Chain A
Amino acid sequence: MNAVLVDVGFWLCAVVSVVAGALVFYVDSMARATYALAVSFVAVGAALLLMGQAYMGVIVILMMVMEMAVMAVYMVMFMGMNPALMPMSMVHSHRSSIAAGVGTFLLLGAGAVLVPWPTRRGAPTADVTAALGEAIMESHMIVMIAMGPVMVVTIVAGVVLSSHRTRYDRLGDDLDRRPADEPQSGGVGR
């Protein structure tokens, strides 16, 4: 691809991602904040596409758009306000947070500029996506093997944490409480 076009595209993505990221904490409503974060992620995904990482870029864009949609639904469910309309400014430790943010940028930025980065070693293969697929199914398969159980544990833990009443609420920690503790008693003579 034309180098100038890549540069222009990258700077466009860079500005959009950082400005949208800052807007997350500036806009008046959580719904807008969610979409600003989604825009920021899409811009980073596009920047990855510009750096020859088709699979990662697409996965970031698709995952984040879905995740932000879930987040918007979640906020409407739980946040106890109309998230699209309520103005809000709910911050604490504002000045020290700004100082921490600026300090982080200066520290990381100094590292980015001052470190004598080595030159590129090797060149990307013709089909990066196929190479990644081969890596995770051959030489780096242990990563996928580890990630599978982590995902399962996440699903189980998420369900356990967020369930309203489980059998442990009904039957006690050892599942031996009889009769079960029900919010509405049942059976004859209730």
Chain B
Amino acid sequence: MTLETVLLVAAALIAVGVYGALSQQVVVMVMMGLELMINGVILAGGGLWWFLAPDPSGQVLLLVVIAAMTVEMAMGFAVATLLHRQAGHDMTDMAAELHG
């Protein structure tokens, strides 16, 4: 376990998340892609903390990342609920009101 390997694994997680967020049509699956990207960010942050500067400030930053993920999930679920309730949409391609 070195910093490079931890960051490579994090890069793989972020890459899979990018693929999912771009390719999936169901709103919840898009959110799963975003989650996977944040998963990679958490791993990379933890790795950088452990291998470079193990003082508490880095842990506080990780806490902020996890809080951001919570906010993203809560807002994502709320918007998906709103979409479903207003128009019966559960696919990103159906929610195209703002499509220029």
**Chain A contacts to B: CB under 8 angstroms:** 6-7, 10-11, 14, 17-18, 21-22, 24-25, 30, 33-34, 37, 40-41, 44, 47-48, 50-53, 55-56, 59-60, 63, 67, 70-71, 74-75, 78-80, 88, 90-94, 96-98, 100-102, 104-105, 108-109, 111-113, 117-118, 120-125, 128, 131-132, 134-136, 140, 143, 147, 150-151, 154-155, 157-159, 161-162, 164
Contacts and interface: CB of A to CB of B under 8 A. Distances in A.
Contacts of B46: 47-48, 51, 53, 56
A56 to B, nearest CB: 5
B54 A63 contact: no
Contacts of B53: 120-122
Contacts of A80: 90
Interface of B: 1, 3-20, 22-26, 28-29, 32-33, 35-36, 39, 42-43, 46-47, 49-57, 59-60, 62-64, 66-67, 70-71, 73-75, 77-82, 84-85, 90-91, 93
Contacts of B17: 21
For the residues of B in contact with A, the DSSP-based class is: helix
Contact of B54 (A24, A97, A118, A124): A124
Contact of A78 (B4, B63, B78, B81): B81
Contact of B15 (A6, A78, A105, A124): A105
Nearest to B43: A44
A112 B4 contact: yes
A132 B64 contact: no
For the residues of A in contact with B, the DSSP-based class is: helix
Given A80-B90, A101-B18, A132-B59, A158 B7 contact: no
Contact of A92 (B23, B64, B73): B23
Contacts of B42: 44, 48, 56, 60
A171 B36 CA distance: 42
A117 B2 CA distance: 11
Contacts of A140: 56-57, 60
Contact of B82 (A11, A102, A162): A162
Nearest to B88: A80
A63 B85 CA distance: 27
Given A21-B12, A24-B36, A48-B43, 8 more contacts: A21-B39, A25-B32, A25-B33, A53-B62, A55-B59, A67-B73, A90-B29, A161-B81
